[in-house]
């Protein structure tokens, strides 16, 4: 995938960059995407990726991937590999390089020593609960830790001993000495190092102290030469701390943090913790379950990189909270596949039709378009025989008003073939329909009847002896309410989990021209857009329906 500069457009972030470039504040643009490898990326991650990658691309700059692997408890190499795979699949190749926060542990330690020597950091013995009590509230200032005024020498000694593993986990922290009366709680002597004994996925057991994100991240940005640290809005109140770290470590080139609103989508949860719970409790078929909002789940479902980035662009880049309709995402892939996907006929719930006035043993072929929206897509021959399959939903013995499909005594057009008329219904012993008998207007071919009569209904069909059996998976939304923020006080995501969100239909009849190839997307005529499931050899996943709920809702 390649997005040209004119397609990227502008937003308030680009306005900031334009002003900086004009004023000579920066002469280059260098961005980064810093995911924590504690789960798989999701559709919300796609927005952060798009903003950082496309901004660098627009200004002919550099884009880094940097794993935020400063918390060894939750991180795993499986997630490291999946993140890189997702970025490359989206087309957001990190042309500035791939880095790890753990690459800078030595530097972070060195800079922590500098802060201690400058009297700007101290070792604190307060527990986490005690620190919370000392921190104060939004309306009341915090209180100084009783350990705040330790000497530089004592702090250096204690910090080195923390590094050497002399103290239990959680017994001490290194805190920045800023202002316990600051109106911004994040500036009230935040912890910048903690003791954690855990094996790191890259560093092993080299370290038993780890820098916290708010300390490590600005250091990483500055070392890599990042000019714009673009992050989601929850970090806006952390920006003063970001700038304090950069200023007090005296970096010559200082990155600028700017924030944008996260991507919130209806019927969707972005919490990695909850998504991991769904996987671990086997409520879904892994991180790449087609119902999951993960990038790998969307990929398995049949979404394309271009449709995902199109969705992000249409959702917009702003600072105000909003929740975007999931149907917009469906609209983006539907709009793309309407132009690109070849058509194939699949009967989901087949019922046999016998054309009683058609010769037994005869086969003829009708040309049908592969894609009427693509001039060069050509046609394919569709065999026609005495015995056919139609979908049971296209026949009714007691039809409602304005029912234009097949019914007793009425005519309907077989797509690209004859007009047929229902003459009889043959039943099994249990009363179910065994087959429907019809006659064909042999003169009608695939054109107008000779007498000029009009037939309103058209249905799809397949010759019974020219099909193969497949199964299809029909997915619904994973949750039953659009906005999970509307949950009651004592409710959880589990209360609104749609446990009937997938239906697998077996015994579907597919035309032989349907390729059994991974990655090929089709429109199943009158049914929806489908792709072969990479985890099941003969199963096809519905990407989305033909009906465009987003457009309909806007009319």
Tokens in use for 6?
A: 């004119």
> What digits encode the pLDDT tens for the residues 350-394?
999 999 999 999 999 999 999 999 889 999 999 999 999 999 999
Could you tell me if residue 73 is inside a domain?
yes
Check whether residue 326 and residue 385 sit in a common domain: no
Check which CATH number belongs to the domain holding 323 and give it.
1.10.1160.10
Asked whether residue 335 is domain-assigned, the answer is yes
Task: Say whether pLDDT at 8 is over 80.
Answer: no
Q: In this structure, are 512 and 428 located in the same domain?
A: no
Q: Give the alpha-carbon dihedral of 263, 269, 271, 274, to 10 degrees.
A: -170
Q: Where a domain ends, among 225, 260, 295?
A: 260
Domain that holds residue 421: 346-460
Q: In terms of domains, do 334 and 396 share one?
A: no
Examine the domain organization and report whether 444 and 477 are in the same domain.
no
- If asked whether residues 392 and 335 sit together in one domain, one would say no
Confidence tier at 549 by pLDDT (50, 70, 90): low
Tell me which of 226, 260, 294 is where a domain ends: 260
Beta bridge partners of 455: none
For residues 509 and 447, membership in a common domain is answered with: no
* 408, part of any domain: yes
540 Cβ neighbours under 8 A, 6+ residues apart: 346, 470, 471, 472, 473, 522, 524, 530, 531, 532, 533
Two tokens, residue 172:
């001490």
Digit-coded pLDDT (tens) for 342-353: 999 999 999 999
Q: Among 460, 487, 515, where does a domain finish?
A: 460
What pLDDT, on the 0 to 100 scale, is given for residue 94?
A: 97
What DSSP assignment string belongs to 436-484? EEEEEETTTTTS--TT------EE--EETTSEEEEEEEEE--SBSSS-G
Instruction: Using DSSP, state whether 523 is helix, strand or coil.
Output: strand
Q: Are residues 80 and 202 in the same domain?
A: yes
Mean pLDDT of 511-532: 95
Return the DSSP state at 512. T
Instruction: Choose among 45, 10, 122: nearest CA to 309.
Output: 45
Sorting pLDDT into bands at 50, 70 and 90, what band is 1?
very low
Tell me: pLDDT of 552 over 60. Answer: no
Same domain, 153 and 246: yes
Query: Domain tally for the chain?
Result: 3
If asked whether residues 241 and 363 sit together in one domain, one would say no
Contact call for residues 338 and 363 (beta carbons, < 8 A): no
pLDDT, residue 454, reads 87
Name the β-bridge partners of 425: 436
Domain annotation covers residue 265: no
pLDDT at 285: 94
- Do both 404 and 441 map to the same domain? yes
What pairing do the DSSP bridges indicate for beta strands 458-459 and 433-441?
unpaired
The proportion of the chain whose per-residue pLDDT surpasses 90, expressed as a percent, equals 89
Q: Are residues 334 and 379 in the same domain?
A: no
pLDDT at 320: 87
Cα separation of 120 and 135, whole Å? 18
pLDDT for position 5 = 42
Provide the pLDDT for residue 75: 86
Answer whether residue 266 is part of any domain. Answer: no
Q: Pick the more confident residue, 527 or 454.
A: 527
Q: What is the CATH number of the domain that holds 389?
A: 2.40.240.10
- CATH assignment at residue 145: 3.40.50.620
pLDDT tens digit string along 412-455?
999 999 999 999 999 999 999 999 999 999 999 877 787 888 89
Q: Is 288 left (phi over 0), alpha (psi -120 to 50) or beta?
A: alpha
Which ranges in 316-436 belong to alpha helices (H)?
326-340
Confidence of residue 7 (pLDDT cuts 50, 70, 90): low
Tens digits of residue pLDDT in 62-108: 999 999 999 998 888 999 999 999 999 999 999 999 999 999 999 99
386 within a domain of the structure (yes/no): yes
Inter-CA distances, 139 with 135, 142, 185, 315, Å? 11, 10, 10, 36
Predicted local distance difference test score (pLDDT) of residue 56: 97
pLDDT above 90 (res 547):
no
Catalytic residue ranges: 36, 262, 272
Regarding whether 364 and 331 lie in a shared domain, the answer is: no
- Residues 257-284 have a mean pLDDT of 95
Helix axis angle for 305-315 and 326-340, nearest 10°, is 140
pLDDT, average across residues 546-554: 63
Mean pLDDT over 302-331 rounds to 95
Which pLDDT tens digit goes with each residue over 468-495? 999 999 999 999 999 998 998 899 999 9
Could you tell me if residue 465 is inside a domain? no
Lowest mean pLDDT among 9-13, 119-123, 222-226: 9-13
Q: List the beta bridge partners of residue 463.
A: 388
Task: Work out the pLDDT band at 3, boundaries 50, 70, 90.
Answer: very low
Residues 6+ apart with CB under 8 A from 166: none
């Amino acid at each position: 995938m390649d997005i040209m500069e004119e397609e990227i457009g502008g937003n308030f972030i680009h306005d900031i960059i334009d002003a900086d470039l004009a004023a000579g504040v920066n002469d280059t643009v260098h961005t980064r995407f810093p995911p924590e490898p504690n789960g798989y990326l999701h559709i919300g991650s796609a927005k952060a990726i798009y903003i950082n990658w496309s901004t660098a691309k627009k200004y002919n700059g550099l884009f880094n991937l940097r794993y935020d692997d400063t918390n060894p408890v939750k991180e795993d190499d499986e997630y490291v590999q999946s993140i890189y795979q997702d970025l490359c699949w989206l087309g957001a190749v990190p042309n500035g390089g791939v880095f790890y926060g753990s690459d800078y542990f030595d530097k972070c330690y060195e800079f922590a020593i500098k802060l201690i020597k400058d009297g700007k950091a101290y070792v604190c013995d307060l527990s986490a609960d005690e620190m919370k009590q000392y921190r104060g509230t939004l309306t009341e200032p915090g209180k100084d830790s009783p350990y705040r005024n330790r000497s530089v020498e004592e702090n250096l000694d204690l910090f080195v001993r923390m590094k050497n593993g002399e103290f239990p986990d959680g017994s001490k922290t290194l805190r920045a000495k800023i202002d316990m009366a600051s109106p911004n709680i994040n500036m009230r002597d935040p912890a910048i190092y903690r003791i954690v004994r855990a094996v790191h996925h890259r560093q092993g057991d080299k370290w038993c102290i780890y820098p916290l994100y708010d300390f490590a991240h600005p250091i990483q940005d500055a070392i890599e030469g990042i000019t714009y640290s673009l992050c989601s809005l929850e970090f806006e109140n952390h920006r003063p701390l970001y700038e304090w770290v950069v200023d007090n470590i005296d970096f010559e080139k200082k990155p600028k943090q700017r924030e944008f609103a996260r991507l919130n989508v209806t019927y969707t949860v972005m919490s990695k913790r909850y998504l991991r719970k769904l996987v671990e409790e086997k409520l879904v078929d892994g991180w790449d379950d087609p119902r999951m909002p993960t990038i790998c789940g969307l990929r398995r479902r049949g979404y394309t990189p271009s449709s995902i980035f199109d969705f992000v662009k249409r959702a917009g880049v702003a600072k105000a909270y909003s929740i975007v309709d999931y149907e917009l995402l469906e609209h983006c892939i539907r709009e793309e596949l309407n132009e690109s996907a070849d058509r194939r006929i699949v009967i989901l719930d087949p019922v046999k039709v016998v054309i009683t006035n058609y010769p037994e043993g005869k086969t003829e072929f009708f040309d049908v378009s592969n894609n009427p929206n693509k001039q060069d897509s050509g046609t394919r021959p569709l065999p026609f025989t005495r015995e056919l399959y139609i979908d049971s939903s296209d026949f009714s013995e007691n039809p409602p008003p304005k029912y234009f499909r097949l019914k007793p005594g009425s005519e309907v057009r077989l797509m690209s073939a004859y007009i047929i008329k229902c003459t009889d219904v043959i039943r099994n012993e249990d009363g179910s329909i065994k087959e429907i008998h019809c006659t064909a207007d042999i003169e009608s071919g695939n054109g107008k009847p000779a007498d000029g009569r009009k037939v309103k209904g058209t249905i799809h069909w397949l010759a019974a002896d020219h099909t193969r059996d497949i199964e299809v998976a029909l997915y619904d939304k994973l949750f039953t309410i659009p906005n999970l923020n509307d949950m009651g006080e004592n409710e959880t995501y589990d209360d609104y989990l749609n446990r009937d969100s997938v239906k697998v239909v077996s015994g579907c009849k597919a035309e032989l021209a349907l390729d059994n190839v991974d990655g090929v997307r089709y429109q199943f005529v009158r049914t929806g857009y489908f792709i072969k499931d990479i985890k099941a050899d003969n199963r096809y996943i519905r990407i989305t329906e033909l009906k465009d709920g987003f457009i309909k809702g806007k009319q």
